[in-house]
Structure 1
Amino acid sequence: MTDSLLGLDEPVQPTRGGDAYRVLARKYRPQTFQALIGQEAMVRTLENAIRRDRIAHAFLLTGVRGVGKTSTARLIAKALNCIGPDGNGGPSIDPCGVCEPCRAIAEGRHIDVIEMDAASHTGIDDIREIIEASRYAAVSARYKVYIIDEVHMLSKAAFNGLLKTLEEPPGHVKFLFATTEVNKVPVTVLSRCQRFDLRRIPAERLAAHFAAVCEAEGVTAEPEALALIARAAEGSARDGLSILDQAIAHADLEGGGVKAPAVREMLGLSDRSAVRDLLALLLGGDAPGALAALRRQYDYGVDSQGVLRALLEAVHGVTLVKVGTAEDPAQPAEERDAYREWAEKLSFPLLHRLWQLLLKGHDEVARAALPIETAEMALLRVVHARSLPDPGELARHLSEGRSDQPPVAAAPSEMPSTRAAASAQSALPQAAVPVAPVQPASDPSQEPETFAALVALLENHGQHLLAVRLAHGARVVSYAPPEIVFSGARPIAADTLAETVAALRGITGAVWKLSLLDAPGEPTLKEAADAAAEADRQAVLATPLVEAALAAFPDAELIDWPKKRNNA
């Protein structure tokens, strides 16, 4: 594949004693919109605007570093000022690249295309020069174009001075702003510009682009090496080309090309197979093995925070596979297979808990005075946390009043590993499977015949507080074991109903159904007992002997009397 097919600058190889070497990030800067990878939406908008002659007077290009903001600004300047090979063309989304305006803009020497770095020209005086010069027509181009890079660095006075000219510029002036921090640009400027958010370039697109660059440079490179570089670039073409340049220089001079192990060593990345082995040891509960694996990575020069970050990426990858997202084509096959197998055996609660533990450890290592020791403690916390019961299952046991222990992770099973030696030792726990407790058979003789008997049954089985709450607050509308309807006019707390269901299920073995109904219901057991006691008292006071005693002694009080009823 030639450089012209890539739509990039023609690479000029320096000779000995000739021109200095141009780095790949400069040599392969896009020279056409077709070569601007990953920004199809913006290119389509610009193409339609140019064809319909609806070209805005100001453009704001924002995005992370290295996605093509300045290159896009230059391309727009070329598209607006291109005159075609014959000198009679108009604005075009496909600038010819051979006319004098196109070549002058590409070389940065066009007198009507002015580039300014706002990081070093921040004051009102610099903007005043632009305002004064914008009044004059272009010298040789169709439009006078001002490209201001890192525009967010302008001072408040400079922004204010630019507002009027930016809102109503002369017809021959176009402004192109580029920034990585659009939130620092005043809204008064944003409202006067047509904004384009340049996206991060996907890793697979970057890897394909790097492969084309390597072919043009006559360099062999492994696909895995290019995938590592694409991931390290984090969506930035310039960062990726800089890393690729370094990888080519790092490669073996004997024609070995760019190899994945060399790139991994150059970037200081933890071996991904070693990360998978470490994750398998953690899930298998092998604390000594996990600490030894961490120390090996540390001895190789990988910082402890990087190991935890790699573990977080692995857990995230397994979770994405379990959710069912599309596979990453840049991912190694053995890693894809390992993630798929883990996703089948690990539950979502276990993955989420693992993520939280590793994330906490990562934050602790970031601010720790002893990073490697803190990382070891974080891994030990992960190892020992695997034996704890699932919080959701534990809460379910408590709400149902079950005394059996909630299930924990099952015994580990053999897990995937990329190394034969580690494969025999790597282990993974099976996903925790809730096991329903064995309930005793329902015995009708244990079902109380009355609500009072039910409360007494709870009291006899140690549920004193629950029995008191029911006796003092429950008004029964209907009682037909195992169904009870209580009055909603005096509502019972939901937790009381849930505790009652769980307690009765544990005592009687039956599944009870308690509900509320908007009806008055019977008096509570406490109210009934108080009413019965008062009736007994009035009966005693009405006896002739007590009446005679009270008549003889007017200040006497009835303190106690023989109870005729059992109000228990």
Structure 2
Amino acid sequence: MSSTVLARKWRPKTFSTLVGQDHVVRALTHALQQRRLHHAYLFTGTRGVGKTTISRILAKSLNCTGPDGRGEMTAEPCGVCQSCTEIDAGRFVDYIELDAASNRGVDDMTRLLEQAVYKPTSGRFKVYMIDEVHMLSNHAFNAMLKTLEEPPESVKFVLATTDPQKVPVTVLSRCLQFSLKSMPPAAIAGHLQHVLQAEGVAFEATALQSLGRAAHGSMRDALSLADQAIAYSAGNVSADAVRQMLGAVDSSYLFDLLRALAAGDGAAMLQLADDMDARGLSFPTALEELAAVLQRIAVVQVVPQALDAADPDAEALRELAASLSPETVQLAYSMALHGRGELALAPDEHAGFCMVLLRLLAFVPVGTRGDAQPLPPLAGATHPASRDTMTAAVAAAPAAPSVASPPSPEADAAIVAEQQAEYRTPSSAGTEPGVTREHPVSAAPGKAPFPGPGPDWPALAQSLELVALARSLALQSEWLGADGDVWRLRVPSEQFTRAGALDKLQAALSEAVGRAIALQVEVGVVTDSAHQRAAAARAQRQKQAEATIADDPLVRQLVDGLGAQIVPGSVRPLQA
């Protein structure tokens, strides 16, 4: 003896049992109560959200006669009268469902409309439900326009489609249109819990959450997946069984991947990828779920109170939100999305997944590998050439007579450990344009204040090892002066100080001069910056190149003797 599948057994029979379409239920209920009924309705939405179900409930509401056989139209059909039972069983003669995918021609539509002129056989109304109406041909649409606009009083049309863009506007204008929403995963999981409890099936809450996400907004798909999970798990819908059935990835793999990313441990990330491959997990699904986890981490970083304390992943999400910088999370989210689309182009999915992980490591923003990451080594530790360049830029600045000279290399080496232990990059805070922004950092004890680079600030800014927005901040800022270890800069826009750029510039300057530096930044007109000097130098080289070409004897001979012209913009200076 076969059982009825859940999607059919648990199809809603009344508006009150319909899940997730409150806006449609509200409108139809009021229309039925106030007897303000339209003659044509159009329901749109993705598969499995209730278009056909709402049509059947509406047909029952229009034709219900109540348990005693003398009831009127109602928003709450009784479900026991002849009309209700026959509509539920699919044999009510005045409720006609037409599949437009297989009956799309003008002849099919003509036969249907010829019957519309006759009064209902046993009900109050004839209800014509045309499913996938966008599949009708243009001639069929044209054939139904007049009847759809002015049908007999006893006829109601219900049209349903998953693609309303293909329905002619002449049809849309004759219908009341309701857009059915995709079901949120939480609503699907809640309904599945109710269904499985009624069916007496054991389950785990996390398993239902996985089914809710896998259904992608369709309640019918969710119930079909629940049927499959019951069969797969032998009546015990567990999280492990559902993950194996769906080819989903255990969240612990994703959290371990992100922990390895925060630590910069490429070997651990590749080992996790190999383990996932050995278990036959789906790499496209892994990247999809990785993007979902990163989205949740980003929300926790911005709105910590949005995290549900009952969430089993709450502790891991808090940990990763603290260890990953917002820049890293946003970049990793974008790479996971793009990497999923590129898996089909990779030699194989495992290789494509590994390349996404390596890309995540390669593009982690500088200085964002966790809160406890130490500052780069100071004098002569890693980049001696760049260190010499920065030292030379600083040394070239005129010293103030009332201030002690910069510290010697021996004294500099003596305070390196102390600076690295005490210095922590402050978190950035938003400022309004025109308002000074200060990052206070205590100077090392016993260090004489350095007056700053002065006129040579552009040279020092150019030599700093910075990337992205922090480098733009350095190159486009102007030196205003120094008050001990507090340096004042001007930038053309407050946007340059966002995304931690000011923190990174401050850290790089502290390394360059050998002690902690505090920055004060104001927004205003910049007249002298490394960017402006570079632009002026480029313009000068361009001008010299054009003059050199114009003064060349051969070019002069061609211009004067043959009327040749130098094409504007065609001359480019040689790169040094």
TM-score, with structure 1 as normaliser: 0.66
1:374 is aligned to 2:356: no
One-letter amino acid of the structure 2 residue matched with residue 385 of structure 1? F
Which one of the candidate residues 347, 355, 364 is aligned to 2:325? 347
Which one of the candidate residues 173, 193, 207 is aligned to 1:211? 193
Tell me: CA distance 1:47–1:341, structure 2 relative to 1, closer, same or farther (3 Å). Answer: same
- The aligned runs of 1:125-274 (5 Å cut-off) are 125-252=107-234, 257-274=236-253
**TM superposition shift of 1:334:** 3.6
Residue 20 of structure 2 aligns to a residue in which SS?
A: coil
Residue 203 of structure 2 aligns to a residue in which SS?
A: coil
Q: Deviations over 1:432-471 (max 9, x none)?
A: 9578898994759x98xxxxxx7xx8999999xxxxxxxx
CA distance in 2 between counterparts of 1:461 and 1:326 reads: 43
- The aligned runs of 1:298-337 (5 Å cut-off) are 298-324=277-303, 327=306, 333-337=311-315
Conserved in 2, the CA contact under 8 Å of 1:118 and 1:153?
yes
- The aligned runs of 1:388-403 (5 Å cut-off) are 388=366
1:93 is aligned to 2:42: no
CA distance in 2 between counterparts of 1:378 and 1:81 reads: 59
Tell me: CA distance 1:40–1:188, structure 2 relative to 1, closer, same or farther (3 Å). Answer: same
Q: Deviations over 1:148-179 (max 9, x none)?
A: 11111111111111111111111111000111
CA distance in 2 between counterparts of 1:327 and 1:173 reads: 50
One-letter amino acid of the structure 1 residue matched with residue 292 of structure 2? E
Which one of the candidate residues 282, 286, 296 is aligned to 2:275? 296
Tell me: CA distance 1:120–1:515, structure 2 relative to 1, closer, same or farther (3 Å). Answer: closer
Q: Deviations over 1:212-235 (max 9, x none)?
A: 211222211111222221121122
One-letter amino acid of the structure 2 residue matched with residue 377 of structure 1? M
In the alignment, which residue of structure 1 is the partner of 2:56?
74
Quote the sequence identity (%): 40
Residue 319 of structure 1 aligns to a residue in which SS?
A: helix
* Range 316-325 or range 176-185, more displaced: 316-325
Conserved in 2, the CA contact under 8 Å of 1:79 and 1:94?
yes
Tell me: CA distance 1:294–1:442, structure 2 relative to 1, closer, same or farther (3 Å). Answer: closer
Tell me: CA distance 1:432–1:365, structure 2 relative to 1, closer, same or farther (3 Å). Answer: farther
- The aligned runs of 1:451-462 (5 Å cut-off) are none
**TM superposition shift of 1:288:** 1.0
Residue 205 of structure 1 aligns to a residue in which SS?
A: helix
* Range 112-121 or range 301-310, more displaced: 301-310
Conserved in 2, the CA contact under 8 Å of 1:222 and 1:259?
yes
Residue 177 of structure 1 aligns to a residue in which SS?
A: strand
In the alignment, which residue of structure 2 is the partner of 1:108?
90
Conserved in 2, the CA contact under 8 Å of 1:350 and 1:431?
no
Conserved in 2, the CA contact under 8 Å of 1:25 and 1:242?
yes
One-letter amino acid of the structure 2 residue matched with residue 338 of structure 1? A
**TM superposition shift of 1:77:** 0.4
Tell me: CA distance 1:515–1:248, structure 2 relative to 1, closer, same or farther (3 Å). Answer: closer
- Which runs of 4 or more aligned residues in structure 1 lie more than 6 Å from their structure 2 counterparts after TM superposition? 434-440, 457-463, 509-514
CA distance in 2 between counterparts of 1:338 and 1:191 reads: 52
CA distance in 2 between counterparts of 1:326 and 1:153 reads: 47
In the alignment, which residue of structure 1 is the partner of 2:21?
39
**TM superposition shift of 1:328:** 7.0
Conserved in 1, the CA contact under 8 Å of 2:492 and 2:525?
no
**TM superposition shift of 1:326:** 6.8
CA distance in 2 between counterparts of 1:307 and 1:462 reads: 42
TM-score, with structure 2 as normaliser: 0.65
**TM superposition shift of 1:347:** 3.1
CA distance in 2 between counterparts of 1:307 and 1:383 reads: 17
Residue 137 of structure 1 aligns to a residue in which SS?
A: coil
In the alignment, which residue of structure 1 is the partner of 2:363?
385
Tell me: CA distance 1:177–1:462, structure 2 relative to 1, closer, same or farther (3 Å). Answer: closer
One-letter amino acid of the structure 2 residue matched with residue 354 of structure 1? A
Residue 88 of structure 1 aligns to a residue in which SS?
A: coil
Where in structure 1 are there 5+ consecutive unaligned residues?
1-15, 391-401, 405-429, 448-453, 464-480, 484-492, 518-568
One-letter amino acid of the structure 2 residue matched with residue 176 of structure 1? V
CA distance in 2 between counterparts of 1:56 and 1:357 reads: 49
1:286 is aligned to 2:265: yes
Conserved in 1, the CA contact under 8 Å of 2:133 and 2:160?
yes
CA distance in 2 between counterparts of 1:156 and 1:358 reads: 43
Tell me: CA distance 1:240–1:326, structure 2 relative to 1, closer, same or farther (3 Å). Answer: farther
Tell me: CA distance 1:102–1:440, structure 2 relative to 1, closer, same or farther (3 Å). Answer: farther
CA distance in 2 between counterparts of 1:494 and 1:21 reads: 72
In the alignment, which residue of structure 2 is the partner of 1:23?
5
Tell me: CA distance 1:326–1:236, structure 2 relative to 1, closer, same or farther (3 Å). Answer: farther
**TM superposition shift of 1:403:** 5.2
Conserved in 2, the CA contact under 8 Å of 1:482 and 1:510?
no
**TM superposition shift of 1:343:** 2.1
CA distance in 2 between counterparts of 1:261 and 1:135 reads: 58
**TM superposition shift of 1:205:** 2.1
- The aligned runs of 1:390-539 (5 Å cut-off) are 441=449
CA distance in 2 between counterparts of 1:462 and 1:244 reads: 61
State how many pairs are aligned: 417
Which one of the candidate residues 277, 282, 286 is aligned to 2:256? 277
Conserved in 2, the CA contact under 8 Å of 1:166 and 1:192?
yes
Greater C-alpha radius of gyration = 1
**TM superposition shift of 1:358:** 2.4
**TM superposition shift of 1:344:** 3.4
Residue 333 of structure 1 aligns to a residue in which SS?
A: coil
Conserved in 2, the CA contact under 8 Å of 1:305 and 1:366?
no
One-letter amino acid of the structure 1 residue matched with residue 179 of structure 2? D
Aligned-residue CA RMSD in angstroms? 3.7
Residue 159 of structure 2 aligns to a residue in which SS?
A: strand
In the alignment, which residue of structure 2 is the partner of 1:533?
none
Tell me: CA distance 1:332–1:183, structure 2 relative to 1, closer, same or farther (3 Å). Answer: farther
Residue 122 of structure 2 aligns to a residue in which SS?
A: coil
Conserved in 2, the CA contact under 8 Å of 1:63 and 1:179?
yes
Conserved in 1, the CA contact under 8 Å of 2:297 and 2:320?
yes
**TM superposition shift of 1:355:** 1.7
Q: Deviations over 1:65-84 (max 9, x none)?
A: 11111000000000011111
Residue 77 of structure 1 aligns to a residue in which SS?
A: helix
Tell me: CA distance 1:403–1:355, structure 2 relative to 1, closer, same or farther (3 Å). Answer: farther
1:51 is aligned to 2:33: yes
In the alignment, which residue of structure 1 is the partner of 2:501?
none
Where in structure 2 are there 5+ consecutive unaligned residues?
369-388, 392-423, 429-438, 463-479, 483-490, 497-504, 528-576
CA distance in 2 between counterparts of 1:84 and 1:510 reads: 79
CA distance in 2 between counterparts of 1:176 and 1:134 reads: 14
Residue 292 of structure 1 aligns to a residue in which SS?
A: helix
Tell me: CA distance 1:460–1:126, structure 2 relative to 1, closer, same or farther (3 Å). Answer: closer
Conserved in 2, the CA contact under 8 Å of 1:318 and 1:339?
yes
